[in-house]
Structure 1
């Protein structure tokens, strides 16, 4: 707790940014594209610092890591080694490829973060919207890490207005026509929907979760988060859940532009308290 108090009360004088580091080569497992990540490294840390890996949103079909440099810089200035990743997008790739890429990035971080002053035993994965879905998925299921032949290194997850927490229920209710955007990502197969819905992998020994949701976000996220929380309470009666009543979906991420904000402090403190 003393370390938390020290880190939370001050900013580092500076950070080092290392951009566009490949974590997955073209043709990995015969089908994956090259993907890269960027590192935001606190300077002059006296001991290894916790690591935060962020997965961007964009409905699984858009977005890139370059948009979130503000998040990496602000977290790094509070003593957190922050990693922003890219991953394969729909329609060229489907959800299992996205989960596999996220796991590959986390394995890269677990293997290499110590070289940048990070503590590989304290890796938190976070994401907004579709990125929150992928963060929850790799936290709660080991299938992608098993495919890579490595251990799951995730010690906690911070979900920011996460989409798709029960994609199986959502897609069944929507009954989309074949070829609809979400089905390009999740396929027409209900078994894939269920296998990629984090709600079905909640368990007793899962890492801690911080769940943030906007009170004015999309109806699908309101409903999906409510269903997820109901299931989560069977394992954790008092979830670490923060509802921001006046926030819509995009402002749930935009608020991290301001370090004095509540959401910034919630995520920062959650990461710093991981042990």
Structure 2
């Protein structure tokens, strides 16, 4: 698994050497101070913005990295931020607290805090706060879905209204973590229980599938046909639960893709996945200034 990521990131860095001219990068901006909510650490984000100034602000894409909720960082996704910025998005890539020191609800609160910071400040970077979309791969896809459907995370940080306009989920893990952990029957304190605790109540509470509602933002979901079985099964259950709310959601099964190639495909700039993201954003964005 690590070798796949190493090849991916080295390849992206090599191909991105010429991308600085058309974008502006604002690195390591603190969005959450040490001791926030008496429990969370300081965390930072990086903003990637198109250099060209337009009369109409750019849509915003906030990306949450994967890593099984226990690893990863925003620096590994520098090429992704550059590429989306070159495609016409003000792109925000965040760090968030990781397991085992922090549990899933702390990660949700931090992700919501990053969205709130972005909503309040992204206009300074040419982005449109009224068109803020969240995205994530793997565990990051889970957190993006979770804060999209559960306004409680915004309530917990004192934000009255969820500003998320839509969610782009890339091979998301944990959409139904409750069923996965029940079937896994892990020994207490092992595996994903370090993130989701040993409590079935928390497993269900942190599973986006059980919090769908009429007012939730629209979602675009991309899943690899050869990805991890738990992701495939969770996506199937999620889509079945989602159907009463959106009979024809933006769901794309990429039959030949495994889990890591689902994010590696963004290495290829002409990839049709960029077109799908653009179509999703254009369909769901607000044109009010």
TM-score tier (shorter):
over 0.9
Report the TM-score when normalising by structure 1.
0.94
Q: Measure how far apart 1:78 and its partner are.
A: 1.4
Q: Measure how far apart 1:79 and its partner are.
A: 1.1
Partner of 1:230: 240
Which of 135, 151, 155 does residue 126 from structure 1 map onto?
Answer: 135
State the secondary structure of the residue aligned to 2:260: helix
Report the TM-score when normalising by structure 2.
0.89
Partner of 2:106: 97
Contact 1:166-1:227 at 8 Å conserved across structures: yes
Q: Distance in 1 between matches of 2:279 and 2:72?
A: 27
Q: Distance in 2 between matches of 1:90 and 1:25?
A: 19
Q: Distance in 1 between matches of 2:237 and 2:20?
A: 40
Q: Does 1:51 align with 2:60?
A: yes
Partner of 1:3: none
Partner of 2:150: 141
Q: Measure how far apart 1:179 and its partner are.
A: 1.3
- Report the aligned-residue RMSD: 1.3
**Once structures 1 and 2 are overlaid, which stretch shifts more, 118-127 or 40-49?**
40-49
Per-residue CA shift, 1:30-63, capped at 9, x if unaligned?
A: 1111100000011223121110000000000000
Contact 1:61-1:91 at 8 Å conserved across structures: yes
Consecutive unaligned residues in structure 1, runs of 5 or more: 1-10
* Superposition pairs of residues 124-203 of structure 1, within 5 angstroms: 124-150=133-159, 151-203=161-213
Partner of 1:246: 256
Q: Measure how far apart 1:264 and its partner are.
A: 2.2
Q: Does 1:266 align with 2:288?
A: no
Partner of 1:20: 28
Q: Distance in 1 between matches of 2:272 and 2:144?
A: 21
Q: Distance in 2 between matches of 1:135 and 1:104?
A: 12
Consecutive unaligned residues in structure 2, runs of 5 or more: 1-18
Contact 1:56-1:130 at 8 Å conserved across structures: yes
State the secondary structure of the residue aligned to 1:91: coil
Query: Which consecutive segments of 4 or more residues in structure 1 shift more than 4 A?
Result: none
Q: Measure how far apart 1:13 and its partner are.
A: 6.4
Partner of 1:61: 70
* Superposition pairs of residues 67-86 of structure 1, within 5 angstroms: 67-86=76-95
State the secondary structure of the residue aligned to 1:108: helix
Partner of 2:224: 214
Q: Distance in 2 between matches of 1:90 and 1:22?
A: 20
